[in-house]
Amino acid sequence: MAACCALPQATHDARAAYAESGMLAAAQDYEHGGMQLPYVIEAAANAFFGKASISIGSNLLTVGNANLLMVHGTELQKQVFAANEFNGRWAGTMCLSEPQAGSSLSDITTRATLEDQDDPLGPRYRLRGNKMWISSGEHELTENIVHLVLAKIPGPDGKLIPGVKGISLFIVPKKLVDTEGNLTGVRNDVALAGLNHKLGWRGTTNTLLNFGEGQFKVDGEAEPWATSSASRTRACAACST
């Protein structure tokens, strides 16, 4: 089980400079700390950053993650998760692919079990499964990482429904947070299981992540917290099929 992955100081400096430039929120409204740039201008500006360092491109995952939450998340999820991604305090990922399934959605087996329907951050779930080829899945560039994880909610018989039915998207923070966006001091059960070495991919990571494997205990239990964005691992739901 891999524990950590250290990136060069130059990567830390570059990421901090990029976040300070405001480019993470460039296309957002002024009220969300943005510049209200048209997308074509934002993309052109990002091309210059990408030319300087290909690893800067991984920040687009943070932007895409936050953009999704702005459309499908609750108001509190936008304030707690999206806002802290746009301001550069946290990073974001998208966790779709699995070792046995690749990117075939109908074949994913990561499971989400409802724990608390009334959690203020969204219905709370416990997740268990593995996600592969997750760019920027583990690092120390930011104080937290917000994973958006595709997982299946079992049917009434406790079995996963074949195909894409039952798939939902879950917000899974690496470190648990409260409704004010403060870290609680509890590490979620999201563990780095391995690094994938991609040709030319420097200054960032590509990872295999385990959810709910028991490396970190959450509330005395092994499975991680997730909240549904649409859904705490521990996860909260964001959106569902």
Per-residue pLDDT of the chain (241 residues; tens, 9 = 90+): 455 678 989 999 999 999 999 999 999 999 999 999 999 999 999 999 988 888 888 899 999 999 999 999 999 999 999 999 999 999 999 999 999 999 999 999 999 999 999 999 999 999 999 999 999 999 999 999 999 999 999 999 999 999 998 899 999 999 999 999 999 999 999 999 999 988 777 788 999 999 998 888 777 554 566 666 544 445 555 554 4
CA separation, residue 12 to residues 17, 70, 131 (Å): 9, 27, 25
Domain coordinates in residue numbering, the chain: 9-240
How close are the terminal C-alpha atoms of the chain, in Å? 33
pLDDT at 52: 85
pLDDT at 92: 97
pLDDT at 230: 44
pLDDT at 202: 79
Residue 113 CA from chain centroid, whole number:
19
pLDDT at 203: 84
Joined together, the tokens standing for residue 218 give 């959450």
CB 84 within 8 A of CB 181: yes
pLDDT at 186: 93
Domain 9-240 coded CATH 2.40.110.20? yes
CB 37 within 8 A of CB 27: yes
CA separation, residue 40 to residues 27, 36, 70, 173 (Å): 10, 12, 20, 31
